[in-house]
Amino acid sequence: MENLVTLVPLIPIVPLLTFAIIVVFTRRNNKLSSYLAVAAIFISFLISMVIVFNAVAGMPHFAEEPAVHLTLLRIPTGATTLDIGVQIDPLTVALLFMVPTVCLMIFIYSIGYMEGDPRYSRFFAYICLFATGMLGLVVADNLLLLFISWEVMGLCSYLLIGFWFEKPEAMWAGLKAFITTRIGDVLLMLGMVILYSQTGALRFETVFEGVEHLAQTNPNLMFITALLVFGGAVGKSAQFPLHVWLPDAMEGPTPVSALIHAATMVAAGVFLVARMMPIFVVLAGMPALAWVAAIGAITAFFASTIAIAQDDIKRVLAYSTISQLGYMIMCLGIGGFVAAVFHLITHAFFKALLFLGSGSVIHGVGTNDMMEMGGLRKKMPYTFWTFLVGMLALAGVPPLAGFWSKDEILAIAFVQNPVVWVMGTLAAFVTAFYMTRQVCLTFAGEPRNEDIHAHESPPVMYVPLIVLAVGAALLGLLGVPADFPVLGPLLGNNPFHHFLAQQFHHWDYVHLPHVGFNASVMLISVVMALAGIGLGYLIYGRKPLGAGQRDPLERMGVIWTLLRNKYYIDEIYRATIIRAAIGVADLFLSFDQGIIDGIVNLIGKLTERWSWVSGLFDTYVIDGIVNGVGRVTSAVGQELRYIQTGRVQNYMIMVVISLLLLVGVFLYM
Amino acid sequence: MDWAETLILLSPQLILVVWALLVLGLDLLVTKAKDSLAYLALAGLAPALGAAVYLLLQRTGQSLLSGMVQVDAYSLYFTVIACLASGLVILASMEYMKARTRYRGEFYGLLLLATLAMTLMAASTNLIMIYLSIEFMSLTSYVLVGYFRDDPKSSEGGLKYFLFGAVTSSLMLYGMSLMYGATGTTDLAEIATNLAAMHATMPPMRWLILPAILFMLAGFSFKMALVPFHQWSPDAYEGAPTPVATLLSVGPKAMGFSILLRVLITAVPLFQFDWVAILMGISLVTMTLGNLTAMRQTNIKRMLAYSSIAQAGYVLVGLVSLVPSSIGIQGVLLYLMAYLFTNAGAFIAVIAFSHVTNSDEIADYAGLVRRAPALAAVMVVFFMSLAGLPPTAGFVGKLLVFGAAVQAGYYYLAIVGVVNSVISVVYYFNVVRQMFFLPPTVEGRLSLPRFPMAAVIICVVLVLLIGLYPQPLIDLVSQSVTLLAVIP
């Protein structure tokens, strides 16, 4: 393992280099750029798999030592050093299994989906950078590298959501995602600063050792710090009340939606909370964790209800993602570390599958509106069957992946917090319902729009769907509870749980609950899932909607309107926070115009008076002001004109380039 | 250290502050006789210069204001350079400014403030103070360069200078922050001790300190107009009022060297091997590029701008040859003093010429010997000194720095330097050829302005004096550098 860790930096670096190569060299060659990108992520994938298999084979290792490190940089900071490096620990390994695999599928799929786009190469450059961000985040052994990767992803999400920036919605969506997640980023940074100032370190292990002391000396600060770090996750993982950016992020190309929703961006927030688990549980009574659970449970339920009333095929999935992330956060909030990570991974597979499937549908029919679709089952068979697997997995139908992971969460919730369990179970029911609605509206019955002639997507698109469908179907078997009759022992007594549970072995204060198999909870969740599907089938499946028919749920009246408009949260934000911000800006403007200008004018007036009284400076001052204004204006114009010739920029670029060259030359001399 | 002593040691700076404010204040009241302010400014420089010379001869050496500044022979030597440069520039500006602008009162105030900034640059021993004084110097220079706000060239020069300065200053600040982050202090001497302590325990920090040095170097090099941080200077020199170009070419450039030396030798002697290599490279490129570009110029101000870039390259030759003896550093100091009179003299001669002809084109210097024989004669002296020919001050300076390079074993550096000097003869004597061997395009004797000519005479006398009898100056610089403490 010690030797293998030297390979770890390559996992994020290869896509990063590819990003640079595409931007600098191969930008004009679309085909080459896309192949390079796929090759890069494939290399990352191979390295990751080598690491994963070795880590799993060498399992006892992590019980003795929390992680294998490789320090890349040592920054001297006066008395101490700041070490920046990568690490391998069970959590990293788990994500290294998921992230490159899903990314690889999405990259391959993009070759087909983005066909003919005028900025084809640029797209592949961006998604390479995106993958770099996520992979760097996963392998980081310290908060600094984690934060940098986190921000790289934030930048990429902005670039990719607004990729079709000719569409104003896309531009605004990119901006909205960037600004909303920025709120969380600032909170995270504050938390990071506090942790650094209190523990003197940014490396996770050292921080975890240091917070034990902090929790005793200053519990309030510890509590606030944990909440600040959680704030970062709330922004990134689109939890209530910062969830508003994610549905709008649908404006980006569909592979980007899949990337954001499954493998990268939103997973980062859950990953952060999982990674920083010790700082949430270090305080007696775990007050911070209660907040995590509450936010997660609220998000899980409320986002799932919104999904019922959406017509945009991707928007339904977006709210479903928010809801599922709520599940994970909620699960972390009740101490279910392993279950949350397990769900993160299975969810990545089936949500990527669903998104790519919806992309395939959009590719085929050319619209996002499910009301225009219908009857696609025969026209797009591969898409239909894989989509169905994804839908059943998400709905929690045994024995697909989503069933096992969701059930583990509910089993823990049942023991730890009944309220959370009720919310989770209800959400599971609603999830099964809206997914059935989606499948029926899209694939069942006859086409509702005669003008649309759907066709199946090319193999480069549906082969990834099949691979992901296999994952979505079978992955759950890694996490079958050990005491599940027959299957448990047969499948190695829950190897996933066994592996990941070593994560926080080294910190005595981390006590995570272990909950076994509970037949009644499992039975209830299966019944709920089937009930949701059944109800969905009754309403949408038995008699599929014909052309021009309205959604039967509209009969719910006020509730429908409320759900359809997403509880008016965007409108509330616009009426309160955004208006307040604009109001403050206006206030400053009027302050500027009223008071500052007033003062200036007053001074001007006084001067005028005084000069009139003295009668001496008359011509000088007043004429001077008038002429001066004219002269300054024309001078500024002149100056700007000269600046526009562009030479100064060249000077500066030359300065920076030569300086960087010097630094490079002398560092490697 | 009582207050009285502190005040005495800081008297040059204090005099300059008071006088600058006085001139600025009086500018509001005096409406007619603006030129009296120039005399007033000169009258303020004289006691400041006197105080600096007095303190220099006293051989004082004292760290002041909690280690922010240090008044020692080294800083006082540069204080003297600053005051002299400023005095010459004021002399040169009188008729020039009078003919061009109504608003010239604050010009002299700004010049005094620039002088103050230069003396502070020379005395700073703390990164914060260094940054502040460099910014102070830069801000006043931006205003001075763009002083003719109706003249697009002047405004353009000022704005370019400003933009360029802002970028390099931020780079420098970044370097300083890296240095502070690595060592936990901004005091130059403490940086050296902390680095030495860390060097024992944490060897792999070269990759942090070296970028820090290089980034700071970017800021200093901007002031000294070293390649590749030189691009602003031809534009700024050409656009600026010529007296301001004079000041920029001798004042801040010398102060840049003073800070560079102080920082490198006091704070990072541990990395001498690296920075000597860096500066050697910069020196070679600076000399060569400056000289080659100067050859192509048709405007004498641009030619002098490139020539002064090249001159900075020669000074660096002395700087990098600091082992085995202090002769290289002595050479730097002496060269800067010699260069002050030479370059200022050349620039002021150009001012005098353009004052009557309104031209800076080299072609217009044709036949100058017939129209203004005295001016032509002194210009020959300045060009000889710039090219490093005996018996001028420039020769002594070049002798010292190239001699130091040979002594240090950097033969190729000395050879490149000498070859460059030969190249420079070509374009300097192109002007001489114009003045002496070509017929004038316009007939008639020139009536030259009085004050600039006085400044030119002072310069030419000193250039020849230093060239013929350099011993006192050599003694002075050897004393100044021993107080730089760390010189072997």
Q: Tell whether A627 is within 8 A of chain B (Cβ).
A: no
Least CA distance to B279: which residue of chain A?
Answer: A662
ipTM exceeds 0.90, yes or no: no
Out of B155, B231, B274, closest to residue A654 by CB: B231
As given in the structure block, the two tokens for residue B376 are 């032509």
Least CA distance to B276: which residue of chain A?
Answer: A666
Furthest CA-CA distance within chain A: 107
The predicted structure's pLDDT at residue A547:
67
Residue written as tokens 């975890």?
A: A208
CA separation for the pair B122, B256 (Å, rounded): 8
Contact A334, A417 (CB under 8 A): yes
Contact A320, A395 (CB under 8 A): no
Least CA distance to A652: which residue of chain B?
Answer: B164
Chain B residue numbers touching A76 (CB-CB < 8 A): 182-183, 198, 202, 205, 208
In a mutational test of the A interface, the residue from B150, B168, B171, B207 whose CB has the highest number of chain A CBs within 10 Å is B207
What letter represents residue B414's amino acid?
A: A
Chain B residue numbers touching A654 (CB-CB < 8 A): 228, 231
Contact A537, A440 (CB under 8 A): yes
Contact B306, B290 (CB under 8 A): yes
Which value, to the nearest 10 degrees, does the dihedral of the CA atoms of residues A156, A162, A165, A167 take?
Answer: 170
Which sign, positive or negative, has the C-alpha torsion B239, B240, B245, B249?
negative
As given in the structure block, the two tokens for residue A97 are 């299994």
CA separation for the pair B422, B431 (Å, rounded): 15
d(CA B437, nearest CA chain A) in Å: 38
- CA A185 to mean position of chain CA atoms: 12
The predicted structure's pLDDT at residue A643:
38
The full set of domain ranges for chain A reads 346-549, 572-657
Contact A237, A331 (CB under 8 A): no
What is chain B's Cα-based Rg? 21
3-state secondary structure of A68: strand
| Cβ count within 10 A of residue B380 | 18
The predicted structure's pLDDT at residue A39:
92
User: Does B232 sit within 8 Å of A652, measured CB to CB?
Assistant: no
User: Does B168 sit within 8 Å of A78, measured CB to CB?
Assistant: no
Q: Is B65 left (phi over 0), alpha (psi -120 to 50) or beta?
A: left
Q: Tell whether A661 is within 8 A of chain B (Cβ).
A: no
Out of B155, B205, B207, closest to residue A638 by CB: B155
Which stretches does DSSP call E strand in B22-168? Answer: 61-64, 69-72
Lowest-confidence region among A140-149, A538-547, B32-41, B389-398 = A538-547
User: Does A666 sit within 8 Å of B214, measured CB to CB?
Assistant: yes
As given in the structure block, the two tokens for residue A393 are 């997995």
Contact A93, A80 (CB under 8 A): no
Contact B417, B402 (CB under 8 A): yes
Which stretches does DSSP call E strand in A151-286? Answer: none
A/B interface, count of CB pairs below 8 Å: 92
- CA A639 to mean position of chain CA atoms: 45
CA separation for the pair B192, B204 (Å, rounded): 16
Contact A305, A563 (CB under 8 A): yes
User: Does A635 sit within 8 Å of B149, measured CB to CB?
Assistant: yes
pLDDT in tens, chain B (488 residues): 678 888 888 999 999 999 999 988 888 887 777 778 888 889 989 999 999 998 888 877 788 888 888 888 889 999 999 999 999 999 999 888 888 887 788 899 999 999 999 999 999 999 999 999 999 999 999 999 988 888 888 888 888 888 888 989 999 999 999 999 888 889 998 888 888 887 766 665 777 888 899 999 999 998 888 888 888 888 888 888 899 999 999 989 999 999 999 999 888 888 888 889 889 999 998 998 888 888 878 889 889 988 999 999 999 999 998 877 788 888 999 999 999 999 999 999 999 998 888 888 888 898 888 888 899 999 999 999 999 888 899 999 999 999 899 888 888 898 999 888 888 888 888 898 888 888 888 888 888 888 999 999 999 999 999 998 988 888 888 888 775 544 43
Least CA distance to B158: which residue of chain A?
Answer: A639
Question: Is the full-model pTM beyond 0.80?
Answer: no
d(CA A231, nearest CA chain B) in Å: 29
CA separation for the pair A286, A291 (Å, rounded): 9
User: Does A76 sit within 8 Å of B198, measured CB to CB?
Assistant: yes
Chain A residue numbers touching B206 (CB-CB < 8 A): 667
Out of A639, A647, A659, closest to residue B155 by CB: A639
Chain A residue numbers touching B231 (CB-CB < 8 A): 651, 654-655
Which of B100, B112, B115 has the alpha carbon at shortest distance from B149? B100
- The pairing of beta strand B69-72 with beta strand B61-64: antiparallel
Chain A, 196-255: which have a CB under 8 Å from a chain B CB?
A: none
Chain A residue numbers touching B198 (CB-CB < 8 A): 76
Q: Which residues contact B34 (CB under 8 A, 6 or more apart)?
A: B27, B98, B102, B104, B105
Query: Which helix or strand (DSSP H or E) is residue A109 part of?
Result: helix A90-113
CA separation for the pair B122, B336 (Å, rounded): 13
Q: Tell whether A643 is within 8 A of chain B (Cβ).
A: yes
As given in the structure block, the two tokens for residue A8 are 């770890």
Beta bridge partner(s), residue B69: B64, B124
Q: Tell whether A74 is within 8 A of chain B (Cβ).
A: yes
Least CA distance to A665: which residue of chain B?
Answer: B278
Residue written as tokens 């460059």?
A: B420
CA atoms within 13 A on the CB side of A476: 24
Contact A352, A345 (CB under 8 A): no
Beta bridge partner(s), residue A69: A87
Query: Which helix or strand (DSSP H or E) is residue A473 part of?
Result: helix A459-474
User: Does B207 sit within 8 Å of A667, measured CB to CB?
Assistant: yes
d(CA B288, nearest CA chain A) in Å: 17
Beta bridge partner(s), residue A86: A70, A140
Contact B262, B74 (CB under 8 A): yes
- The pairing of beta strand A68-77 with beta strand A80-88: antiparallel
User: Does B208 sit within 8 Å of A651, measured CB to CB?
Assistant: no
Q: Tell whether A653 is within 8 A of chain B (Cβ).
A: no
CA separation for the pair B67, B25 (Å, rounded): 32
Chain B residue numbers touching A644 (CB-CB < 8 A): none
- CA A447 to mean position of chain CA atoms: 34
Q: Is A194 left (phi over 0), alpha (psi -120 to 50) or beta?
A: alpha
Contact A479, A494 (CB under 8 A): yes
